[in-house]
Amino acid sequence: MKRRMRAAKQDSDKPKVPKYNNKITHVDGIKFDSKAESEYYLVLKEKLGRGEIQDMRLQPVYVLQDKCTRNGKNLQAITYKADFEVLHLDGSLEIIDIKGEETEAFKIKAKMFQYRYPNLKLTLLKKVQKYGGWITTDEWKEKKREDKKAI
């Protein structure tokens, strides 16, 4: 599958600095915005090879609010670009986003996504070696609370 390259506005003099201190990585000729995202791609690729999932798609785009015109002004559509879309063996779709930190903008888009696409499962994952690797961001928050209580 081909992944659309993310458009980047750059000054010709300065190289693009990745946001949130992530490391841009290339795997199988595909550019990933973070090392964690590229590592999860390899996890999904292995699952696909073993027949554990039917298919996967990179960077699917979902419309959260359609474009419209208000007071004579054209308003662009609001979209959400996830990291992965996974088609499971039972035919269900899971939308997966690899997160280091959840920005306020992302939190709003996640709520809009869940409202507009109630039948799609949105999973936010984080790689945390301390807790054994890939866990959901909700599990990570709970473990952080437990760790604080233990101190």
Q: Between β-strands 133-136 and 121-128, what pairing exists: parallel, antiparallel or unpaired? A: antiparallel
Q: Domain 22-146, what fold?
A: Trna Endonuclease; Chain: A, domain 1 (3.40.1350)
All structural domains of the chain with their residue ranges: 22-146
C-alpha–C-alpha distance, residues 29 and 142, integer Å:
36
Write the pLDDT tens digit of every residue in 3-34. Answer: 443 443 344 455 555 556 678 889 999 999 89
pTM of the model: 0.79
Residues 62, 80 contacting (CB under 8 angstroms): yes
Q: What is the pLDDT of residues 42-81, one digit of tens each?
A: 999 999 999 999 999 999 999 999 999 999 999 999 999 9
Residue 102 tokens read as 């959840």
Distance separating alpha carbons of residues 41 and 46, to the nearest angstrom: 9
